Structure 1
Amino acid sequence: MIDEERLARILDLPKVELHLHHEGAAPPAFIRGLAQEKSVDLTGVFDEHGAYAYRDFVHFLSVYEAATQVLQTPQDYYRLTKAVLEESAANGVIYSETFLSPDFCGGSDVGAWREYLHAIREAADEAEKTDGIVLRGIITCIRHFGPEKAKASALCAAETAGDWIVGFGIAGDENKGKPRDFSYAFDMAREAGLRLTAHAGEFGGARSVYDAVTDLGVERIGHGVRAIEDLRVVDMLAEKGIVLEVCPGSNVTLGVFPSFAAHPIERLRERGVTVTVSTDDPPFFHTTMKREYEHLARTFGWDEETLTEIARNSANAAFCDDTTRAAILKRLETT
């Protein structure tokens, strides 16, 4: 058991989040408000309590994409970014990397994407000044949209790579296609100097993690938790220093594991894998970074030292430049 005073100190720790989907972090009230403004019918997106409603992972993807219908202009993404960062900062997040898909921001047209990116960055700069939270972007292609659309997303990534767009990845339905189908897009991003991550080992098994590492050459894996089903893959992750962006609350809510106690994050860590903690799509999964920390403290006995180590892992694995990383690490040590 952890006493409440210690839990309060744990919840107040500064946090670093590496796995956050921008649209998926939209508060339901924000999306409902935009829908009302724009007269967009979102029947079926929310339950009777106003929360996002879905049956399973595939239906979740459909609901996610339906909710994005109201995000139609760069100004909408400016407002979204402000809302997302306000919530993150309230949970003690000092640095975050958000997944952005040009498919939802101008239809993967480079010119339109630049306008959306400008609006997102403007909101992020304002939040950094007011709330002290630093944001960077990782462009993701959508796996179930197919390899050709992934190339268009990679072109948007390559054309805007720099100090703010720092990475490229892939999200979506892991059961559609193989990682190697997206090699061209990842090669394009790599050549542009972007660092690479990929969703795997959530609804795909341990082999999906192995394939993402070997076929796409990523240095981080989104989720990756089902690597635990094959200890050879776990050991490969440890040996190669591949970092896992673990989202325990998401995994439990979606039924990947039946409970926090059954979640393998502690076993992966004990086996030498570098793990980090994130929320994924927090309002969809009824979580926050504080809630993740509370579950980890109560379930595994993780204390301030352990969770500060996790935050340090995250900062060291972040795709930002070294100057930004040093500033974040300093805040972790001095707060």
Structure 2
Amino acid sequence: MQTQNIPKVELHVHIEGTITPSLAKKLATRNGVKLDPSVLQYEDHYTFTDFLDFLNQYDMVADCIRTPQDYEDLVYDYLERCAAENVIYVEFFGSKDHGEACGISYPDMVAGMAKGIERAEADFGIICRCIMTCVRHYGHERALPAAQAMIDHPHPIVVGLGMAGDENAHHPKDFAAAFNLVHKAGYPTTAHAGEAAGPQSVKDCLKYLPIKRIGHGVRSIEDPALVKEIVQKGIALELCPGSNLSLGFYDQPEDHPILKLKEAGCRMSLNSDDPPYFMTTIGMEYENGMQLWGLTEDELRGITKMAIEDAFCDDETKAKLLAKLG
């Protein structure tokens, strides 16, 4: 891998979506969960027929998580794999809703994640933080408790709020109360938009939510005025090219707007989203940046630098990461 020596940063990955089939088997056995054998055909990746099949498999595999120890193990497992690809920092998305659906309280879930993060930093030197998410298609009624939990149970690993889920469900303004609550408490925020839904979804997030980053945001390219606004406001795009291609939002690498967004001056990071589902890794995303889109080593290092600057961690941690970049 030609990009192995480049320090990497990931800002957009769903922790439940990092579970490999081999880890899913381990968790399922430990927790007495029966998995459909068709989901476990391979050791390191899944296959699916369409977006709905992907969501079904994702939920099925995530259901193997039943204890704080499971969260510790899956966080450690993912960070170990990242460290092997010279990743120096990860911000993953966690879900209060998922934890509670599996019978785990918010504080216990975060405590389990924190143990995995601490072990990985001690063993591999990789630094990690968590962005708690609300799920858009669950509605704003469940977003506010997620935001309140962050404030009521603060933890050093939880550094921001995000919104995942179906971009076409509900309207961003419905979630303003949750986002404003954490914003006033000093937490930065991000939201998924401009992938499954068009540029209007990005416009609405920028108008109604106090966001610093957009998850995906690739379809902003369809609206030149929006791209100009994103650049002027310094909004960072959490790009996940492998995910976009795997889900069929773009047919070929040359159709993906990564280079157009870069040329327009957009701030960006490269990310894996749900790596075993899209047969990618953060290392492969950097490698594809070079092999498929012709990004140079200096340009990829520049993307890492932008990602550090746009991360939600504190300034002291950013300074430590920038020192590793050289």
TM range (shorter): over 0.9
Q: Work out which of the residue numbers 276, 284, 288 in structure 1 matches 2:269.
A: 276
Partner residue in 1 for 2:223: 230
SS state at 1:166 partner: strand
Alignment check: 8 A CA contact 1:227 1:234 kept: yes
1:32-51 pair list within 5 angstroms? 32-43=25-36, 46=39, 48-49=41-42, 51=45
How many correspondences in the alignment? 325
2:186 maps to a residue whose letter is G
**Cα distance between partner residues in 1 of 2:102 and 2:261:** 36
2:281 corresponds to which of 282, 288, 291: 288
Deviation at 1:160, TM superposition (A): 3.3
Give the TM-score taking structure 2 as reference length.
Answer: 0.95
For 2:115, give the aligned amino acid: E
Task: Tell me what 1:125 maps to.
Answer: 118
Q: Give matches, 1:244-255, under 5 Å.
A: 244-255=237-248
Give the aligned residue type for 1:89: A
By how many angstroms is 1:11 displaced? 2.6
Counterpart for residue 164 of structure 1: 157
| Residue of structure 1 equivalent to 2:183 | 190
Q: 1:100 aligns with which of 72, 94, 103?
A: 94
The partner residue of 1:54 within 48, 54, 70 is 48
Q: Secondary structure at the match of 1:135?
A: strand
Q: Which one of 98, 110, 113 corresponds to residue 106 of structure 2?
A: 113
Match of 2:168? Answer: 175
CA RMSD of aligned residues (A): 1.7
Q: Describe how 1:300-315 pairs up with structure 2 within 5 A.
A: 300-315=293-308
Cα 1:115–1:162 change in 2 (3 A) is closer
- 1:86 paired residue among 73, 80, 87: 80
Give me the whole-angstrom Cα distance separating, in 2, the residues matched to 1:137 and 1:123. Answer: 12
Deviation at 1:44, TM superposition (A): 6.8
1:158 Cα deviation after fit: 2.0
Identity of aligned residues (%): 40
State whether structure 2 residue 34 is matched by structure 1 residue 16: no
CA distance in 2: counterparts of 1:105 and 1:136, whole angstroms: 17
Distance 1:271 1:45, change over 3 A: farther
Q: Give 5+ residue unaligned stretches, structure 1.
A: 1-6
Change over 3 Å in CA distance of 1:56–1:44 after alignment to 2: farther
User: TM-score by structure 1 length?
Assistant: 0.93
> Which range moved further: 324-333 or 257-266?
257-266
Following superposition, the deviation at residue 47 of structure 1 comes to: 5.6
Q: Please report how far the alpha carbon of residue 31 of structure 1 lies from its aligned counterpart in structure 2 after TM superposition.
A: 0.8
What does the per-residue CA deviation read over 1:260-290, in whole Å, with 9 as the maximum and x for residues that have no partner?
Answer: 2211011001011111111111111100122
1:242 corresponds to 2:231: no
SS at match of 2:49: coil
Equivalent position of 2:314 in the other structure: 321
Cα pair 1:58 1:173 within 8 Å, conserved: no
Structure 2 partner of 1:259: 252
